[in-house]
Amino acid sequence: MGFEYIKSLHIIFVVTWFAGLFYIVRLFIYQTEALQKPAPERSILKPQLDLMSSRLWYIITWPSALLTLLFGTWVLTYRWGYMEQGFMHAKLGFVFLLYVYHGFCHVLFKELQAGKARWTSTQLRIWNEASTILLFAIVFLIVLKNTLSMVWGVLALIGLAILLMLGIQLYKKYRIKKEQ
């Protein structure tokens, strides 16, 4: 198979993986909130949200994570010279953190499937932004291929994180005001 096809498949599975990661945490938020509802609502919502989470996690997110790894490794065999450059080490470090994030999401998934909500919906909203920050870091590193630009990128990520936290807090205030 030609390099461009392999690279295309890698990009497609990165996109589907991130889509799964973004949506699974949103479902975690809904599951957590459903567990706090009174019995009639909870008994309707929990099974449906559990089913949706399970299908997303096992049919889209996990396969996409594995195929991303497979095709990413294959792409790297064509571009092995990149392994001598700092940007690739940094990028692979962020990718490793993304797999750690994925693994922790699996722990949360298992807990919520068992009806245990360890985190609040607000904490999960903040957790959801970690994958966004990792996405920015990985894309900027692979496109710019420059560790000096990474310094500016890290500063931009810190700014982005601050903006995301402010957005989450504003949304929380809006929700509380709307519920009153």
Which residue did the predictor score with more confidence, 17 or 161? 17
Q: What is the pLDDT of residue 148?
A: 62
The reported pLDDT for the residue numbered 20 is: 98
Q: Give the residue, 169 or 20, on which the prediction is more confident.
A: 20
Domains: count for the chain: 1
pLDDT given for residue 4 in this prediction: 93
Q: Which residue has the higher pLDDT, 22 or 122?
A: 22
The predicted structure's pLDDT at residue 31: 97
- Which spans in the chain are helix H? 3-35, 39-55, 62-78, 86-113, 121-144, 147-179
- Please indicate if the annotation marks 46 as binding a ligand: no
User: Is residue 91 part of an annotated ligand binding site?
Assistant: yes
Which pLDDT belongs to residue 175?
Answer: 80
Instruction: Give the domain extent around 109.
Output: 3-179
Convert the pLDDT of each residue in 111-157 to its tens digit: 999 999 999 998 999 899 899 889 988 888 888 876 666 667 767 77
C-alpha–C-alpha distance, residues 26 and 114, integer Å: 17
Looking at per-residue confidence, does 164 or 97 come out higher? 97
Q: In Å, what is the CA distance from 62 to each residue of 4, 59, 125, 159?
A: 24, 7, 21, 30
What are 31-74's pLDDT values in tens digits?
999 999 998 999 999 999 999 999 999 999 999 999 999 999 99
